[in-house]
Structure 1
């Protein structure tokens, strides 16, 4: 039961830390190389690179619709920032928390010939989703029920999943159609997964009432809690107990080629087929990891308990006050499957504008599954071989707008999809940051109709 305490603790950390995906804005760049392949495997072919070698990259994306923070208050505060008193809270019946960690290890891509390319990626990833938690109850649990008034709550489809895994991906991409006017390419990534472990909980319905005068909490319903392995410990996990799984990404990209570029450019200077319009579509993170010896406990919450018992440890209070039945069973934890669409338009010269969306194909009501935050982004950028500057504006699930900035300078990339919003907004709900260090090896080729 200590793992439920840790899972709730991670939620509190997200709550106190400033409230994917991954590499916001950078993956739209024609020079993103192996990073772009993680968004759409079709991008591996007809790229500007003879080879692209990633040394180390990392992306962190976290947020919640429970509260917003003014970053300027944190920077200006001399006495320290108090999350409870200084943050603006948006308490609802169905608040949500989200965390996405994505680390790209040694990875590379290279061309087999003019029509096909191959790549290998290594990644370590962790997701946390907590969906449909009652904000007033969450506040009371985190504050130790320092309430002076009664309140009722009714929770529907409450669930949470934290999952960490590693993956090795093999990507193959090929040009399917190419002529002076059009180019169509496709790609697929096959993934071998190694599950580190997962903890999860769900409750189809929980109702309750807090009685301030009696300082009691009366609840009704059932809480299902589980972990991927019996006695699994997220803090001190054993890498010898990794669980294998399989996954895949698939994608296509169509280009309407730039006829003006054909007529006026020197073919010897073209590293990839220049276009006026590019349309891409991909489905990423298809698959799951099946933990065959998961420990599952169902707690009967039909009871009235002393609210003070929740002051120290929520998980311990649940275990001490409610009856639970534990079984060992197989549990499949789904990856955060998503549909990604991209429209990239060349405005003039080296100036482009992208309109992109990432939509979860996993409902947030699905137990034992992670999901991305649905996002629509508009990202203008200036790109040349050794430099890209971009500034994405994103409309994110839960009603938040984020404005960010990024820079690619030779082998180094840094950026954030929300840095400008975080600096300017009075109530930022999301924050993300990423970096990357790679060795790009550019190529030149003679452009001709195949």
Structure 2
């Protein structure tokens, strides 16, 4: 069983590796920024911003370091044939069969390093943002609408040291040594969820002055569950004592339980809530902060000195009404040859159960510092707000990142450096134009022996700018730059006079 579970989990990680994403938001992000903080869309540069289609996915593990270039070079695993997918999806397919029919090499061909642990973890999440838009009603109010398909999956607390004992060559060459060994506990659990999501967002500006700017936002989301799967390995223990003189007196102790659950078709509904705030500190000396002759206020269009934002996303739940659960209990104590498997294996099932799962509630704290004109330094913290061991809550990974970026209306670029709560370090690169954006916060580390997590995002949109707002913003940039030049000249003159 172990020789099937671990390679299969790793194979799934490899296959999904090229479908990954990252949180990339700037002041021109528009509707996609609502996914991280609904307040972000207030007082944007857009009259209307339309997302056509975008994808954002992340996958990683703490068990092995992979070789992405080797993976991509290997003919996309040979999975271009639909028949191959059908064969692989068969429940009877062994891992050897999967490698044979998919033209995969052995696992070691795609792994540069393995780190065996009693607590190995695999995880992934994906968001496909469908047709969505924001509409700036006026300088103080903005509304948004989003559609999305989301996936969340993980397998936690696997004993990869135990797997290593089964596959280590010294054991394979000496079966007696393998059998005469206490393998300890086999534990772990995994869950996967997929659902549709429709969201409605409101963001407003309750407070604004020439030096301070504050906005708030809230998103209400309605969910429809697509599918869920889960499994739980509960304290499997195995110990075989080989009696070489009298083999029939050898003893095998093996006990534990495994539960497997999956949802059936039904009315699977849920609700979610995102809330957020943004505070900006701006330069009060800029004329752009004043009211123009028509009474319009472009207070947020002057470059801010710094911006602080905080949000909590995915507050809520989703219920699956038809869950089928099967539990297999094993209690083997074989000390003689009179053995009937039915005496030791208990199989039970529960149908049509209703299960409610909490969404992967996450807190976000972001600090954006304006270095000079178009250059910014961003620090972002994402914190998963539930315990890793809470079975009825979807999981996500906490993360902290530092991202220098260049930002303008037509092109932005960023270079993120990050580390998550599993100690996995990443470095990447991304670019954004008015119509298209793509990037990865892990593409640089994916080229090294540090590649344990991969992510990628890509999107296509139609921006409709508020021409007056953009014009005032550009004027503000020029005035801001001019003031900086004047300040530098004054400082140099004062220094010269002192000398």
Query: What interval of TM-score do these two structures reach, taking the shorter chain for normalisation?
Result: 0.7 to 0.9
- Report whether the alignment pairs 1:106 with 2:136: no
The 1:114/1:205 distance shift into structure 2, 3 A limit, reads same
Equivalent in the alignment of 1:257: 282
Equivalent in the alignment of 1:56: 53
Equivalent in the alignment of 1:170: 200
Question: Quick one: which of 296, 303, 310 aligns to 1:281?
Answer: 310
Return the offset for 1:223: 2.6
Return the offset for 1:440: 0.9
Question: Quick one: which of 334, 352, 360 aligns to 2:376?
Answer: 352
Q: Which has the higher helix share?
A: 2
Cα distance in 2 between the residues matched to 1:15 and 1:146: 26
- Report whether the alignment pairs 1:192 with 2:218: no
The 1:296/1:18 distance shift into structure 2, 3 A limit, reads closer
Cα distance in 1 between the residues matched to 2:304 and 2:431: 22
Q: Secondary structure at the match of 2:221?
A: strand
Q: Which has the higher strand share?
A: 1
The 1:60/1:22 distance shift into structure 2, 3 A limit, reads closer
Return the offset for 1:216: 10
Q: Secondary structure at the match of 1:301?
A: strand
Q: Normalization by structure 1: what TM-score?
A: 0.82
The 1:348/1:330 distance shift into structure 2, 3 A limit, reads same
Root mean square deviation of aligned Cα = 3.6
Equivalent in the alignment of 1:152: 183
Question: Quick one: which of 400, 405, 419 aligns to 1:381?
Answer: 405
Q: Secondary structure at the match of 2:301?
A: coil
Equivalent in the alignment of 2:120: 95
Equivalent in the alignment of 2:83: none
Cα distance in 2 between the residues matched to 1:390 and 1:416: 10
Cα distance in 1 between the residues matched to 2:430 and 2:35: 18
Equivalent in the alignment of 1:181: 211
1:7–1:162 Cα contact (<8 Å) kept: no
Cα distance in 1 between the residues matched to 2:71 and 2:127: 26
Which stretch has the larger CA shift, 166-175 or 241-250?
241-250
The 1:80/1:245 distance shift into structure 2, 3 A limit, reads closer
1:42-441 pair list within 5 angstroms: 42-71=39-68, 82-84=106-108, 87=111, 88-138=113-163, 148=174, 149=178, 150=181, 152-155=183-186, 158-203=188-233, 205-209=235-239, 218-229=253-264, 241-259=266-284, 261-262=286-287, 272=301, 274-303=303-332, 322-328=345-351, 329-423=353-447, 425-441=448-464
Return the offset for 1:101: 1.6
Q: After TM superposition, which residue ranges in structure 1, 4 or more long, deviate above 6 angstroms?
A: 6-10, 75-80, 140-143, 210-217, 263-271, 318-321
Cα distance in 2 between the residues matched to 1:7 and 1:52: 45
Where does the alignment leave 5 or more consecutive residues of structure 1 unmatched?
A: 1-5, 230-237, 306-317
1:34–1:44 Cα contact (<8 Å) kept: yes
Superposed CA offset, 1:386-437 (max 9, x none): 11000100112211110010000220001001001111x2141011111000
Return the offset for 1:122: 0.3
1:20-39 pair list within 5 angstroms: 23-27=21-25, 29-39=26-36
Superposed CA offset, 1:283-305 (max 9, x none): 11111111223112232132369
Return the offset for 1:127: 1.1
Return the offset for 1:219: 3.4
Superposed CA offset, 1:64-93 (max 9, x none): 111002345557889986423551111110
The 1:76/1:107 distance shift into structure 2, 3 A limit, reads closer
User: How many residues matched?
Assistant: 417
Superposed CA offset, 1:255-299 (max 9, x none): 111335457999899873531111111111111111223112232
Return the offset for 1:227: 1.6
